[in-house]
Chain A
Amino acid sequence: MLGKRTLKTTQNDLREITKEVQDIVTESGIKDGLVVVWCPHTTAGILATSFWDPKGHEDMMEDFDRIVPMRVNYKHQDTPSDAAAHIKSAVVGPSLSAPVEDGKVLLGHSTGIFFAEFDGPRDRQYFVKVYGK
């Protein structure tokens, strides 16, 4: 089964999508298998991190900026934000996979699945594919 969701992001947005992913897994009826979350954009990514402290999310996005800062001399001359976002997206990656056990996405007690917007604000989408039986 393939599910699709859309979202409107803000600039440098980290948006939790755990519930949406779990809903698609439940809807699929698959009890034992694998779920893949796929982002079709090249300036955004999918990642897993703790959902407890929103301040930690700010830390993470700010550190992405420190590692890949916006600068004006990128060879890709769209915008500084866009050029940096392509690199952040490649580093984080466009997808995440997780086991499905008893119809639940197998996550740690504080693990969430997040859509990471490295540019924005943008209209975005992601896909969720569930494999198994």
Chain B
Amino acid sequence: MKTREECVNPLWEQVMNTPDFAVRLNDSLSPDKFRDVLSMKEIYDIKRVIITGCGDSYMAGIAMKPAFEKLTGLRTDVMRMIEFNRHLDSGELGRTPGDPLVIIISVSGGFARVIEAAKRGTKYGAMTLGITDRPDSPMAKECRKVLKMDIPLMGEGVGASSYVSTSTTMLHLAARIGHVRGIVSGEQVKDIRNSLVDFCKSYQAIMPKLDDQMWELANRWVDLDRFDFVGDAADFATAFFGAAKMVETFGATCSWDDSEDWCHIGFFSRNPRTIGTGLVANPYSPSFSRCLETAKGMSLLHRPTLVVTTADKSVFPEGLEVCTLPEAKYDFMNPIMQNVAFGLLASRLYPLKGIEPFRAGDKDFDLGGYNGRDSSAVEIV
């Protein structure tokens, strides 16, 4: 068995540094930056918000939907990019000038589907806003507005930083829109900003203990290859993030769902003792009671289960591994940081398994230069 030192890797370093990174990120996202993105008139033209992205960007959209709705007072829909690009009726875009606000998230802004989303939204009259680290990217050039994320450097490899960066940027954007619309006051915007920094700092103190817990769990779960992640609404983002890291790092067979559908479908998976299961269950969630029922089901099935929560361990059935994390002053902030538990677990599992992330060096993965993400044809329907 490898030692902890032998299992240090770029993802582990990124996750361990996430609280520091998040604090620095908040410093770099000044209020002036958001003041210049949309004019007051453009903000008042918005009647609906659509957020779209792929992978971590889509998860960040899911994570920040409650923040957007609460802070802006606007109906907010988070759409998968293929749904927005190819299936959403074009009549939903540009019914009135500058409405809806379509937020397209992509750190690189370079792959086919995000370029397509920007082109489609702009063509049909929506207020397209690209959130990206590359304002000169093809996607950014197709958007009416661009918000640069300014991601502080955090190392290379499989990352957790883009999710944290994107969700944090969107939270500040939502606060700005809500302030202009009179939903939140200037004092509340300041309090949100300060509370977010305090919340990120609260994670700094718990990271070593959390690392201990995830290292111990990774050693128990090292032989598991099937995983299942469950979370509702904004917590679904954390669950999805966990699943994504297991797939990206060691190619796990994974599923992800909400508590209700897990009780309808995932519940029936065979050999439950061999399925590593992640459940995100927070007590402020309106569906917390259903999550507790789900946890009971996982326990009765003898699923190896990690619960990520702000609640005390005693709330959950015995036998489940419970990771109790700090609670933010505002509920909608918690998904920005709760991903660190699953991120740490993945970062310990793949070196313990002896697998290179993103299937590096795997001959079965050589597709002769084919890249389905970048080479896909752009179509505007």
Query: Are B182 and A121 neighbours in the complex by a CB distance under 8 Å?
Result: no
Which residue of chain A lies nearest to B40 when distances are taken between CB atoms in the complex?
Answer: A72
Interface residues of B in 26-45 (CB under 8 A from A): 35-36, 39-41, 43-44
A119 with B186, Cβ < 8 A, contacts A77-B35, A78-B35, A79-B179 known = yes
Q: Is B180 an interface residue (CB 8 A)?
A: yes
Q: Give Cα distance in the complex from A73 to B180, angstroms.
A: 12
Taken residue by residue from 105 to 133, chain A's Cβ proximity to chain B (1 for < 8 Å, 0 otherwise) reads as: 00000000000000111110000000000
Query: Are A122 and B40 neighbours in the complex by a CB distance under 8 Å?
Result: no
Q: Is B185 an interface residue (CB 8 A)?
A: yes
Q: Give Cα distance in the complex from A123 to B189, angstroms.
A: 13
Q: Give Cα distance in the complex from A105 to B223, angstroms.
A: 82
Q: Is A80 an interface residue (CB 8 A)?
A: yes
**How many residue pairs bridge A and B at CB < 8 Å?**
35
Residues of B within 8 A of A82 (CB): 186
A122 with B187, Cβ < 8 A, contacts A77-B39, A79-B40 known = yes
Query: Are A121 and B39 neighbours in the complex by a CB distance under 8 Å?
Result: no
Give the shortest distance, in Å, between B174 (CB) and chain A (any CB).
14
Q: Give Cα distance in the complex from A74 to B35, angstroms.
A: 13
Taken residue by residue from 174 to 195, chain B's Cβ proximity to chain A (1 for < 8 Å, 0 otherwise) reads as: 0000011010011100000000
Decide if the interface of chain B is mainly helix, strand, loop or mixed.
helix
Q: Is A81 an interface residue (CB 8 A)?
A: yes
Give the shortest distance, in Å, between A83 (CB) and chain B (any CB).
8
Taken residue by residue from 248 to 277, chain B's Cβ proximity to chain A (1 for < 8 Å, 0 otherwise) reads as: 000000000000000000000000000000
A122 with B185, Cβ < 8 A, contacts A72-B39, A73-B41, A77-B35 known = yes
Q: Give Cα distance in the complex from A15 to B257, angstroms.
A: 53
Query: Are A72 and B187 neighbours in the complex by a CB distance under 8 Å?
Result: no
Question: For this complex, into which size category does the number of interface residues on chain A fall?
Answer: 10 to 19
Q: How many residues of B contact A (CB 8 A)?
A: 13
Residues of B within 8 A of A80 (CB): 40, 44, 180, 182
A79 with B182, Cβ < 8 A, contacts A122-B187, A123-B187 known = yes
Q: Give Cα distance in the complex from A77 to B36, angstroms.
A: 8
Query: Are A122 and B41 neighbours in the complex by a CB distance under 8 Å?
Result: no
Query: Are B185 and A121 neighbours in the complex by a CB distance under 8 Å?
Result: yes
Q: Give Cα distance in the complex from A130 to B140, angstroms.
A: 59
Give the shortest distance, in Å, between B73 (CB) and chain A (any CB).
14
Interface residues of B in 177-234 (CB under 8 A from A): 179-180, 182, 185-187
Cβ-neighbour of B44 out of A11, A72, A83, A122 (below 8 A): A72
Q: Give Cα distance in the complex from A73 to B42, angstroms.
A: 10
Interface residues of B in 14-35 (CB under 8 A from A): 35
Q: Give Cα distance in the complex from A11 to B187, angstroms.
A: 11
Q: Give Cα distance in the complex from A121 to B183, angstroms.
A: 12
Residues of A within 8 A of B44 (CB): 72, 80
Q: Give Cα distance in the complex from A123 to B194, angstroms.
A: 15
Cβ-neighbour of B40 out of A11, A73, A120 (below 8 A): A73
Residues of B within 8 A of A77 (CB): 35-36, 39-40
Q: Give Cα distance in the complex from A81 to B36, angstroms.
A: 17
A-B contact pairs, 29 of them (CB 8 A): A11-B185, A72-B40, A72-B41, A72-B43, A72-B44, A73-B41, A74-B40, A77-B35, A77-B36, A77-B39, A77-B40, A78-B35, A79-B179, A79-B180, A79-B186, A80-B40, A80-B44, A80-B182, A81-B182, A82-B186, A83-B40, A119-B186, A120-B185, A120-B187, A121-B185, A121-B187, A122-B186, A122-B187, A123-B187
Given contacts A121-B187, A122-B186, 18 further A-B contacts (CB under 8 A): A72-B40, A72-B41, A72-B43, A73-B40, A77-B36, A77-B39, A77-B40, A78-B35, A79-B40, A79-B179, A79-B180, A79-B182, A80-B40, A81-B182, A82-B186, A119-B186, A120-B187, A121-B185
Q: Which 10 pairs, one residue from A and one from B, show the smallest C-beta to C-beta distance?
A: A72-B41, A72-B40, A79-B180, A121-B185, A72-B44, A122-B187, A79-B179, A77-B40, A80-B40, A121-B187
